[in-house]
Chain A
Amino acid sequence: MDTFSRIFGLGDKDLQKQADELLLRLSKALQSASAKLHVCVDDWDDGKMKHLDELESEIISLEREADEVKEELYEKIFSKRAYLPQQTQERYQLVQHMDSVVDAAENAVRMILVGSNFRPPSEIKGIAEKGWICTDLLQDAVKYLFTDFKKSVEYTLKIDRVREEARDLSFKLLKKLFNDKKYSAKEVSLFRAISERILQVAIRSEDTGDFIRTLAVKYS
């Protein structure tokens, strides 16, 4: 069937195997970037400043790796008709969504390094933790999308709930920043920018989860 598949563009098994491996790599990069972001915020909060630069460069490397995986998937797999066109389109959209989570982690860590000399409010640590949980759940949602729609949907619903908790924390932080006189205008502006960027990790995880749920609902 393989030769037949190649002639009519119905999918090459070797390419599909490569695509599965690349998707797994992207999934790991996503989770790893978010976990490192969480560690980075923890260290910043605890005043352990010496590893922050190292963590930043590791997250940036992960983001580059995710971009490479995305390019490789597009150039070597999707454009070679490894799957039927509808399936290619859906997988590509999934990859784009996943990559956007890693991008968000990179943006967040860069912003943290900008303001690393200031001591962060505790809520920022909480938001980073929620983001990390979201990506952890997302990794499972992606995994189950291919084998069990029901479980996959369950994980995406969990992501929604955790993202809501992250949003609540973010508003709690804003309330604190704008009402507590101990924060200067510079600090308000800085912590707001950092928290919004960290929150983006959870938001983009939720967007990816929504896309996964759309696929699962469409096909189940």
Chain B
Amino acid sequence: MEPVLLGVLLIISFMVAFAIGSNDEAMAPAVGAKVFTVRTAVAIGGLITVLGAVSMGGNVSEKVGSDMVRGLTLTTEMVFAILISMAIWLLVASATRGLPISTTQCIVGSVIGVAVFAPFVGYTGWGIEAIDWFVVLEVFVGWIVSPVIGFLVAAAVFALVRRSQKQVQGLTDLERQERLAAYGLAAFLIWTSLSRGGNDVANAIAPLVVLPDFMGTIELGFIALPAVILPLIIGGTGMALGLIVVGRKVIRTLATEVVSLSPSSALAASVSVALIMFVGTLLGLPLSGTHVLVAALIAVGWVSATPVQMKQVKDILISWIITVPISAVLGVAVLWVILGFI
């Protein structure tokens, strides 16, 4: 591929990664429980994201929105339109209000928009009928079920934790327990960030890994590295910078503006989210990690009788509802712009 075009693709992937990193983060519970400051959280999160992207990103293959269109393959322009529109909406949500939204929701919305708009710009076989509405329905059901499951499981897990906490004799014992929970939370979230880095980078660099330029190896002196390491490093760095520069706003929203957390309640919420997402993946359920996390935070707040900031929850819910139509419109607009350049 021409170096200029390759450079443009790398820049776009970097921007997409930056946007994903700005919104999709794992450190909020630790900040909420005040185990990490926001600065420490983004520093550690950024570093771990790069490590996760480079070490685990190569094993994750991502076909952006491909299962939603029946028997058709998204063209490169379409994939870029989907990714760029996702990046735009993620950045807008993160930078303006710090609202945590679902990356999957962005992708679904923009795939629908692009697929429906495609016949108007000369693509044959596309349109409403090209979309596998059963898959879309499955995904929608997943979004409704995710918070419900997240709430129930996190409430149950934290209720168990609270029961064990009631056995403590005095403040010294309790503080010891909370300190252990804080260590556990720090370790757990570092591990979660590592796998999240590996998974999320796939979305950003999906169009790059299929290019012949990144299929072989690159020689660095006597060391031969797989060429895919370059987009992985770019994607990982983009996500890390997104987290450091913009992501702190989303962390603050989740950490302090929904509910007050203690190390044990934050750990219960984080473990519940990981558990639900793991079982959901095993069963093939299209659950949203963001939805599950928000519901889990509300659940632990409810169990510990801590006031839940309902206004903030309402804003988050509204952002979830408008994400699909906005992403669809953005997908159409971006595809139209891209086609104008070709």
Contact pattern, A 93-109, Cβ under 8 Å of B = 1, otherwise 0:
00000000000000000
For chain A, what secondary structure do more than half of its interface residues adopt (helix, strand, loop), or is it mixed? Answer: helix
A8 near B35 (CB under 8 angstroms)?
A: yes
Complex Cα–Cα for A8 and B34 (A)? 10
CB-defined contacts of A145 to chain B, threshold 8 Å:
170-171
Given A10-B35, A10-B182, the answer on whether A152 and B170 have CB atoms closer than 8 Å is yes
Give the CA-CA distance A10 to B183 in the complex, in Å: 8
For chain A residues 107-153, which have a beta carbon within 8 Å of chain B?
144-149, 152
B179 on interface, CB distance cutoff 8 Å: yes
Please report the number of residue pairs spanning A and B whose Cβ atoms sit closer than 8 angstroms: 53
Q: Does B237 contact A (CB under 8 A)?
A: no
Q: Per-position contact with A for B151-180: 1 when CB-CB < 8 Å, else 0? A: 000000000000001101111101100110
Bin the interface of chain A by size: 20 to 34
Q: Does any Cβ of A come within 8 Å of B36's Cβ?
A: yes
Residues of B within 8 A of A4 (CB): 183
Stretch from A29-37, A56-64, A67-75, A81-89 forming part of the interface with B: A81-89
The residue on A at minimum CB distance from B165 is A219
The residue of chain B having its C-beta at the shortest distance from the C-beta of A94 within the complex is B171
B179 touches A86 (CB 8 A): no
User: What's the tally of chain B residues with a CB closer than 8 Å to chain A?
Assistant: 22
Q: Closest CB of chain A to B255's CB: distance in Å? A: 12
Instruction: Flag if B35 contacts A87 (CB, 8 Å).
Output: no
Chain B residues lying within 8 Å of A147, measured Cβ to Cβ, are 169-170, 172
Query: Does residue B110 face the partner (Cβ distance < 8 Å to A)?
Result: no
Query: Which of A9, A87, A149 has a CB less than 8 Å from the CB of B169?
Result: A149
Q: Is A209 in the interface zone, CB < 8 Å from B?
A: no
B-chain residues with CB within 8 Å of residue A11 when the two chains form the complex = 179
Q: B183: which A residues are within 8 A, CB to CB?
A: 1, 4, 10
Interface residues of B (CB under 8 A from A): 33-37, 40, 165-166, 168-172, 174-175, 178-179, 182-183, 186, 262-263
- CB-based closest 5 A-B pairs: A85-B34, A147-B170, A146-B172, A146-B170, A146-B171
Residue contacts A-B, CB under 8 angstroms, 12 given: A5-B179, A9-B37, A10-B183, A86-B262, A87-B178, A146-B170, A146-B172, A147-B169, A147-B170, A148-B169, A219-B165, A219-B174
